[in-house]
Structure 1
Amino acid sequence: MFVTFCVLLVDIVMGILSIYWGADHSLQFNLPVFTVAVIDFDGGEVGPCLQQMAAAERTANPQMTLGYESEPGSKYDFSNERALHALKHEDFWFGIVIQSNATAAMNYAYTTGNTSYDPTGSIHLIYEEGRNALTINDLAYPKILSFMNDFVLRFAKQKQNSLRTVNAGDSSAQERQTENPIPVSFTVFNTAPYIPSIAEAATEIGTICKPSIFVQSGRVNSVPFTDLIIISFVSILMFGALSEKKRWEKYRLSDTTYIA
């Protein structure tokens, strides 16, 4: 009986792990489902340039690229709060929000001068890690971070080359250009961080070991093996579902004002 129990337990564990590994392996081939809304509140140089680059990125390799979608700022009434609301309602996985004053603030720093100019305020990258921490952190976030860094470098090179031509012979303008080597950049806002419970692993492992304790204590004769197995794994699934639901509701109901 003990051998039968061990065989059944190993089969069930390996079966569940096989399903998990299969699903995890297939994630890399489903990158387009990670919708990335490129929202342009700017309408100047920065917004259209970023949207064009996102469209080109998706066209170049549609099967292995995140699902970039260009959206006008009017869809969200040019409001960061509306964009956050759409994120929380899972209209997209990531939002790249080009701020309304991105081009104006950048050009003012170059033409007039602004020592307090912060290029990282030009673009907001918003997402909710708590929606699916595993897939976001392993697949989507590294790719979108690489894309954004690539955009910053490309746009900086393009803008600096343009200013170099326009500012030829103007020492004051060239000095302002030198003071701002990076025209625009971005800030990341994780509006729902994933905070795993320390007790989860201990509880799940303890539940798995429960049948073994029954066997060793001699109580196995009074409890069917199949019942022990079913109780163990149902307990794991229920605990995981309840803890995830509690954590998700916590961030859903929290007052997140990450973007002004």
Structure 2
Amino acid sequence: MVIYGHPRYSRGWEDDGPEDTRSSSNEQQRPSEGEQSPSDEGKVAEKEEESEDPGTTGPNENANKDGEKQGGGPPTPVGFWDHRLAHVRKEAMTKWTITTVGLMAFILAILSLYFGALLNVEKNLSSLVVYVVDMDGQSPPYDATGHAPLVGPIIADLARTMVASGTPTLGWGVLPGSAFNNDPIQVRQAVFNFDAWAAIVINPNATAMLYSAIQNVNASYDPLGACQLTYIDSRDDTNWYDFISPIVSAFMTEATTRVGEQWTQMVMQNATTDASLVRNAAKVPQALSPAIGFSQFNLRPFYPYQVIPSVSIGLIYLIILSFFSFSFYLPIHFKACSQNLQRHVTAADLNHSTSNPMVIRL
């Protein structure tokens, strides 16, 4: 560019000053029609991305934008039931439902095992054998008193009636006193040897002592001397207290009632011809009511009480810990694999894993 008539601009465009240089550089940097600058290209790309994916802006981003509009600080907290947290609530409830349903199914499956194990308990009660040994008037001198046995036959008939009733009950086994040589100690030995869960013994002098109390006014008569119950609750305290003891207690109550009714009726009938029986009975009332009782002998009580955890919750942990066999996978055992036959190593591991819980449970 040449400007004539002025000495400053008499030179050609090559000698233009800084202003012309800047203007020329701006003209060179200015894009031509149809072209875009790099900054314009970036803005266009950002707009295209926003227009192509309008759904990526979620509630949290909206909240952030709101916070930025308010002053550029953190987003404003909102309540749990805010509409912008709908997707969070949905995800939380879904996971909670899956977890709860899974736990319910697992617990139901485990409890079903116990339900199945106890499903036929009533039908299997007959496998719990309880002896009823009738020694009443079976050995001298009580076999020659001149009075027919009363207590023993009534209780034995009651046991037979319960077995024949068809209702779930214990395995009552009625045995004569001769099976144990009319010795109550031998009956206790049978219970101690786990031949039966319990035994009810009608003592040889059961009926004879009743007659003696009324006829001879024996004020020291003790109804508990007529019969005895022998058992071992420590054999299995759950079986005894949950299944056996309730039925045995009901049996003894019914036996006492039946003997008392028949014995009182017999005394009153004889009193019509012998008025002294009524006076004697008034002096020995326990000979009429309850007439008989049951002495109870627990051969092996569940004692001391500190052993309760070993058969309850402590037993669970004992079983779990006793099967820890990680020590059998130490390097020394793998070293043996290269020197011995594999089947020998396997047999040794099985032996160790089996003997470990057995020794711990001792």
Q: CA 1:199 to 1:127, structure 2 compared with 1: closer, same or farther past 3 Å?
A: closer
Q: Which runs of 5+ in 2 are unaligned?
A: 1-102, 138-148, 322-352
CA distance in 2, matches of 1:97, 1:51: 10
Residue from 169, 173, 177 that aligns with 1:73: 177
Q: What is the aligned residue count?
A: 209
In structure 1, the residue matched to 2:216 is 112
TM-score, normalized by length of structure 1?
0.70
Which amino acid counterpart does residue 200 of structure 2 have in structure 1? I
**AA at the equivalent of 1:48:** P
The question of 1:101 aligning with 2:205 is answered yes
1:51 counterpart = 2:137: no
Amino acid at match of 2:161: A
Give the equivalent residue in structure 2 for 1:192. 300
1:78 is paired with a residue whose SS is coil
- SS of the equivalent of 2:175 reads strand
Structure-2 separation of matches of 1:80 and 1:51: 16
Match of 2:129 in 1: 35
- List aligned pairs for 1:234-249, cutoff 5 A: 238=357, 242=361
Q: Is the 8 A contact 2:154 2:258 kept in 1?
A: no
Name the CA distance, whole Å, in 1 between partners of 2:309 and 2:170.
34
From the CA coordinates, give the structure whose radius of gyration is larger.
2
Aligned residues of 2:132 and 2:156 also touching (Cα < 8 A):
yes
Q: Give, in whole Å, the separation in 1 of the partners of 2:174 and 2:244.
A: 18
Task: Give 1:202 shift.
Answer: 6.6
Deviations 1:129-162 (A, max 9, x none): 1111112211111011101101101110111011
TM-score under structure 2 length normalisation? 0.51
Q: CA deviation at 1:189?
A: 1.4
Measure how far apart 1:12 and its partner are: 9.2
Q: How far apart are 1:193 and its partner, in Å? A: 1.7
CA contact (8 A) 1:27 1:135 kept: no
Change (3 A) 1:74 1:208: closer
Supply the RMSD in Å over aligned alpha carbons.
3.2
**Map of 2:239 onto structure 1:** 135
Deviates more, 1:81-90 or 1:14-23: 14-23
Q: What residue number does 1:91 align with?
A: 195
In the superposition, relative to structure 1, how do residues 202 and 166 fare at CA in structure 2: closer, same or farther (>3 Å)?
closer
Q: Report percent identity of matched pairs.
A: 28
Distance in 2 of aligned mates of 1:56 and 1:129? 26
Between the aligned partners of 1:191 and 1:118, the Cα distance in structure 2 is 22
**What per-residue deviation string (whole Å, max 9, x for no partner) do you get for residues 146-205 of structure 1?**
011011011101110111111126443112223222221111212122245255367457
Q: 1:205 to 1:82 in 2, by over 3 A?
A: closer
Amino acid at match of 1:94: A
Deviation at 1:35, TM superposition (A): 1.0
3-state SS of 1:28 partner: coil
The secondary structure found in structure 1 opposite 2:120 is helix
CA contact (8 A) 1:160 1:177 kept: no
8 Å CA contact 2:129, 2:172 repeated in 1: yes
Corresponding letter in the other structure for 1:99: N
